[in-house]
Amino acid sequence: MEFCKWLGRKESNTCRLPTEAEWEYACRAGTTTRYSHGDDSEGSAKVGNVADAAFEAQFPELKGVIKASDGYAYTSPAGSFLPNPFGLYDMHGHVWEWCADWYDPAYYAASPEADPAGPAAGEKHVFRGGSCRSNAWISRAACRNKDVNSRIKDRGFRAVIEPD
């Protein structure tokens, strides 16, 4: 949040974390499939850094990796893979991305249908997208996760800049 405040001042615009609904909309990029590239998890190696053959070579005891290899066992340079149909990079895998929303497992059962902003309070924030250590199923557009605001090597964020 401090980075967003700093960038907002620097750019003279509002800068913030996306809501969970905004993040999923950006990730899906107009698609209705599990991933922005379709439903085949093996295609994830072309659009994002997920647990794959390169990861399994480093950690053979882990299961659930895809057979394809993206060439990176850990995080990769940003933009190393194909963008989604909206032109956004690294929406599947790479690092989990923090969202502005607090986590509530029942929130969407009664939330507004258009532009839900998430619960007003909570103990843990939502993060989305999976990471280089996540199997492709977890890196799909609909997967949600939550945690306290911890600093872990596979967590990051994507800033939203609103023109003033």
pLDDT digits (tens, 9 = 90+) for 28-58: 999 999 999 999 999 999 999 999 999 999 9
- Tokens 């850094």 belong to 49
The boundaries of the domain holding residue 137 are 2-162
pLDDT bin (cut points 50, 70, 90) of residue 63 is confident
- At 33 the pLDDT is 96
Number of domains in the chain: 1
User: DSSP characters for 58-101?
Assistant: H-TT-----SS--S-SS---TT-S---TTS----SSSSEEEEEE
Judge whether 68 and 42 are in contact, CB under 8 Å: yes
Straight-line distance from the first to the last Cα atom of the chain, in angstroms, rounded to the nearest whole number: 18
Provide the mean pLDDT of the chain. Answer: 91
pLDDT bin (cut points 50, 70, 90) of residue 7 is very high
CATH of the domain at 140: 3.90.1580.10
- At 126 the pLDDT is 94
> CA distances (Å), 98 to each of 24, 43, 63, 73, 155, in order?
12, 24, 26, 22, 7
- Tokens 């799909």 belong to 140
Residue 100 scores a pLDDT above 80 = yes
- Tokens 């994830």 belong to 44
- Tokens 């557009």 belong to 141
Residue 48 structure tokens? 């994002």
In this prediction, what percent of the chain has a pLDDT beyond 90? 72
- At 154 the pLDDT is 85
Tens of pLDDT, residues 106-161 = 898 888 888 898 898 999 999 999 999 998 889 999 999 998 767 778 899 999 99
